[in-house]
């Protein structure tokens, strides 16, 4: 992780010396601070998994310094992509904190300039790719890949915004197919498929031959989000590092979707009256319905079924190295507590 | 123009059938309405100039149906890019109207979802390029071009936001080099260089050989923005179709930059006290300073000097076709009243 972090400084420095823009001192300072605030502070799982996956695909051979740098640069591009989406998402959701600090747009003197900063974060990705990959045979595939995944993420975000954004607070839209579609596009492609696809491209593969791998990873991403939703309510805040607010925020969470599928008329009434309210009494009532419906057991059941299905799809893969990549992803998240 | 407009419907329909996203009925409707509201309602000068430039570069040969479609598709990509920047710019500037209707984010039920719609507009560009240009030898150059120009535009926007965004309302930053740099990056690259660069790529050229052409177009873009600033104050609202508010908005306009360079102490005081205020008395006082300083004559002088310089750089170009492209741009804007 520390060697991965050290690549960040190099990429940042390249961006601050980009000859396509004539920087003033103020703009250098602005970008420097904006990057440090938004890019490296996450868990870096997505970024590091490019390096890990590429190592496995190379079948145990140590990476050269250059290979490590390139795989890390692609990993950082994913972290940049995530930063871009989070900065804008926090504006749209009117959020207060992110990663234990105020959201960027709430920092004094930033405000809505944050929207353009999000755009800049996004624009840094092709700058990094051009500088380091322009001569690679897979350069155009990298551009296509990032473009497609960004499009899918933004489309998932749209779906989320237009189906779940308040206005009427209508629980009747919260159904499993809706939930799955949002999660698949908004989260799974960029968090799970993109890192592996980057590693495959670096390894000289044609992504058209990895449609099954994509589907497995998207499924894993969905499983990951279900866990996230479960832990938001039933996880230990001490372990997760934050207190969940999905109920207060009227989120289209897996839990509420499952509850609505199973609830009787009374319970539906309780949910309708209390979901999306921020007073503790309402939250407690919702959680009681979840417990009465035994959603903890429903989750355990989902978790083991998912796991078994994923393992069997993974073992149907022809390449042992690819199997190993997929299993390493799965084992990082299976039964996680945070 | 009507044949150019007809291409829009085809591109929109392709986007609504993009297999990379599993659209719901609601999301199809949303995108459809969002595109119609934001993309085709402008003057379309930038888009159409791709087609015009390409025709000239082909030296009088009629375009085939396919060539017309491709040149128009690139033109529309520029219109999409512009729509993306305008949607986000209006949010950041807290603007009210755009092209004679409420800004998109002010439309009921849209609100900050508009930020993600801006992102989607941007994401449509690589979708269009991939669908229609993936097999062309210049595909990767097109991607690089759009990426670079978007980066420059977003960087210019940052410069504008961090130097001119209120807070303290400090006129001392409004100097000619600052002004020129903002305009060059924020407007000139995408409005003037990008259309010609698209046409050159379609014509099989290597953009590395057209650095002079780029510089000429960026200069022309600067001249265009100076006119825009001039007309905002001294143009006829009946002809322009809107009433200028640059003074009220504390804009870093060419006029205030020129005024500050020429003003005596009293006039500086008047500007400092009245620039950026929305009451009509303040606006009138600012305009009086402009008139006392004879900024109309300063502008005429700038206009003819610029014109002469541009013509002489254009005539130094080796290719007659390229000269003709540049002159056609220049003559579209020289002494324009709107
Ligand atoms: Mg959010
Ligand atoms: Mg959100
Ligand atoms: Mg969550
Ligand atoms: Mg504006
Ligand atoms: Mg603005
Ligand atoms: Mg103007």
Give the closest-approach CA distance of B272 to chain A in angstroms.
22
Pairwise CB contact (< 8 Å): B151 & A127: yes
Asked if B181 and A127 come within 8 Å (Cβ–Cβ), the reply is no
Interface residue A116 vs chain B (CB under 8 A): yes
B120–A148 CB contact, under 8 Å: no
pLDDT for residue B167: 65
Contacts of A147 in chain B (CB under 8 A): 123, 126-127, 130, 143
- pLDDT of A314 reads 97
Q: Check if A95 contacts B (Cβ < 8 Å).
A: no
Exposure string for B232-257, b = 16+ CB within 10 A, e = fewer: bbebeeeeeeeebebbbbbbbbbbbb
Please give the pLDDT value at position B223: 96
When pLDDT is cut at 50, 70 and 90, the band that residue A239 belongs to is confident
Nearest CB to A157; choose among B88, B116, B185: B116
Terminal-residue alpha carbon distance, chain A: 19
Q: List, as one string, the DSSP characters of B150-205.
A: HHHHHHHHHHHHHHHSSSS--GGG--HHHHHHHHIIIIIIIIIIHHHHHHHHHTT-
| Ligand found nearest the CA of B116 | 2
- Is there a contact between A154 and B127 if contact means CB atoms under 8 Å apart? no
Which residue from B minimizes the CA distance to A123? B151
Percent of chain A predicted with pLDDT > 70: 99
Between A149-158, A265-274, B127-136, B162-171, the lowest mean confidence (pLDDT) is in B162-171
In this structure, is the dihedral angle defined by the CA atoms of residues A310, A311, A315 and A319, taken in order, positive or negative? positive
Using CB atoms within 10 Å of the CB of residue A101, give its burial: 0 to 12 exposed, 13 to 18 middle, 19+ buried. Answer: exposed
Q: What is the pLDDT of residue A167?
A: 65
**B136 touches A at CB < 8 Å:** no
Surface of B (178-197) touching A: CB under 8 A: 178, 181, 185
Q: How sure is the predictor about A170, in pLDDT bands with cuts at 50, 70 and 90? A: confident
Q: Is B28 on the interface with A (CB under 8 A)?
A: no
Q: Which of B154, B164, B184, B208 to mutate to test the interface with A (most CBs of A within 10 A)?
A: B154
Q: How far is CA A111 from the centre of its chain?
A: 24
Q: Check: CB of residue B46 under 8 Å from CB of residue B79.
A: yes
Distances, alpha carbon A338 to alpha carbons A48, A239, B142, B240, in Å? 18, 6, 43, 59
Q: Say yes or no to pLDDT of A272 above 90.
A: yes
pTM for this model (two decimals): 0.96
Instruction: For residue A252, give the DSSP letter.
Output: -
Is A147 in Cβ contact with B123 (below 8 Å)? yes
- Whether residue A28 lies within 8 A of chain B, CB to CB, comes out as no
CB atoms within 10 A of CB A140: 16
Distance from C-alpha of A196 to C-alpha of A204, rounded to nearest angstrom: 13
State the pLDDT at residue B337: 84
pLDDT tens track, chain B, 338 positions? 789 999 999 999 999 999 999 999 999 999 999 999 999 999 999 999 999 999 999 987 789 999 999 999 999 999 999 999 999 999 999 999 999 899 999 999 999 999 999 999 999 999 999 999 999 999 999 999 999 999 999 999 999 999 877 567 889 999 999 999 999 999 999 999 999 999 999 999 999 999 999 999 999 999 999 999 999 999 998 888 888 999 998 999 999 999 999 999 999 999 999 999 999 999 999 999 999 999 999 999 999 999 999 999 999 999 999 999 999 999 999 888 88
Please indicate if any CB of chain A lies within 8 Å of the CB of B155: yes
State the DSSP string of A313-338.
HHHT-S-HHHHHHHHHHHHHHTT---
CA distances from A149 to A38, A161, A298, A308 (A): 20, 18, 31, 27
Window 318-337 of A: residues touching B by CB (8 A cutoff) are none
Is the distance from CB of A185 to CB of A159 less than 8 angstroms? yes
Predicted confidence at residue B328, as pLDDT, reads: 94
Instruction: Identify the CA nearest to B294 among candidates B270, B259, B264.
Output: B259
Show Cβ contacts of residue B68 under 8 Å, excluding neighbours closer than 6 positions: B3, B51
Chain segment A201-219, per-residue pLDDT in tens:
999 999 999 999 999 999 9
Secondary structure class of B100 (helix, strand, coil) = coil
Would you call A284 an interface residue with chain B, using a CB distance cutoff of 8 Å? no
Q: Given pLDDT bands bounded at 50, 70 and 90, which one contains residue A237?
A: confident
**Contact (CB, 8 A) for B31 and B118:** no
What confidence score (pLDDT) does residue A38 get? Answer: 98
In chain A, which residue's Cα lies nearest the Cα of B120?
A154
CA distance A109 to chain B (A): 8
Please give the Cα distance from B176 to A6 (Å, whole number).
40
Q: Provide the pLDDT confidence category of residue A166 given band limits of 50, 70 and 90.
A: low
In angstroms, the separation between the Cα of residue A172 and the nearest Cα of chain B is 15
pLDDT in tens, A2-50: 899 999 999 999 999 999 999 999 999 999 999 999 999 999 999 999 9
Residue A240's pLDDT is 84
Contact, B31 vs B110, CB < 8 A?
no
CB A158 within 8 A of CB A150: no
pLDDT of B335: 84
Evaluate whether A165 touches A202 at the Cβ level (below 8 Å): no
**Contact indicator for A271, A169 with CB cutoff of 8 Å:** no
Each residue of A41-76: pLDDT tens digit?
999 999 999 999 999 999 877 899 999 999 999 999
């Amino acid at each position: 992780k520390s060697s991965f972090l050290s690549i960040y400084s190099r990429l940042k420095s390249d961006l601050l010396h980009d000859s396509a823009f004539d920087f003033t001192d103020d703009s250098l300072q602005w970008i420097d601070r904006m990057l440090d605030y938004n890019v490296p502070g996450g868990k870096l799982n997505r970024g590091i998994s490019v390096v890990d996956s590429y190592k496995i695909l190379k079948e145990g051979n140590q990476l050269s310094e250059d290979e490590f740098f390139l795989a890390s640069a692609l990993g950082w591009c994913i972290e940049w992509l995530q930063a871009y989406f989070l900065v804008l998402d926090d504006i749209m959701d009117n959020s207060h904190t992110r990663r234990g600090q105020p959201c960027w747009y709430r920092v004094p003197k930033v405000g809505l300039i944050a929207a353009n900063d999000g755009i800049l974060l996004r624009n840094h990705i092709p700058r990094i790719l051009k500088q380091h990959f322009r001569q690679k045979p897979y350069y155009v595939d990298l551009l296509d890949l990032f473009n497609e995944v960004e499009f899918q993420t933004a489309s998932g975000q749209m779906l989320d915004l237009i189906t779940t954004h308040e206005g009427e607070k209508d629980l009747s839209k919260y159904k499993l197919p809706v939930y799955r579609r949002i999660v698949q596009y908004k989260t799974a492609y960029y968090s799970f498929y993109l890192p592996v696809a980057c590693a495959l491209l670096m390894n000289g593969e044609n992504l058209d031959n990895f449609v099954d791998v994509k589907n497995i990873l998207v499924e894993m991403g969905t499983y990951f989000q279900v866990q996230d939703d479960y832990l938001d309510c039933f996880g230990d805040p001490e372990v997760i590092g934050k207190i969940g607010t999905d109920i207060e925020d009227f989120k289209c969470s897996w839990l509420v979707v499952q509850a609505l599928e199973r609830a009787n008329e009374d319970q539906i009434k309780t949910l309708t009256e209390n979901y999306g309210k921020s007073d503790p009494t309402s939250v407690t009532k919702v959680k009681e319905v979840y417990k009465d419906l035994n959603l903890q057991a429903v989750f355990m059941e989902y978790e083991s079924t998912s796991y078994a299905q994923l393992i069997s799809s993974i073992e149907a893969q022809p390449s042992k190295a690819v199997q190993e990549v997929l299993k390493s992803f799965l084992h990082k998240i299976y039964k996680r507590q945070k």
